[in-house]
Amino acid sequence: MNRNLGKTDRVIRIVLGLVIVALGLLFESWWGLVGLIPLLTAAVRWCPAYRLLGLSTCETPRTRHQAKAA
């Protein structure tokens, strides 16, 4: 399983997941469990929907030549 979530994407998912879970608790709704999905995908750094769509927000590793040029 290759990672396909970058740092910014993970932070957004964590914040969004926590907000959804908190709202679920606040309104005593089972919909708060939906917030566990973005939290889980952020924790494992892999999103199955991104895999199906061929997307990735991971930073590409720099080669030695690119690192010297930067």
Model confidence pLDDT, tens digit, residues 26-70: 999 999 999 999 999 999 999 999 999 999 999 877 655 655 655
Distance between alpha carbon 47 and the CA centroid of its chain, in Å?
Answer: 7
The pLDDT of residue 64: 59
CA dist., res. 3 & res. 5, Å (int): 6
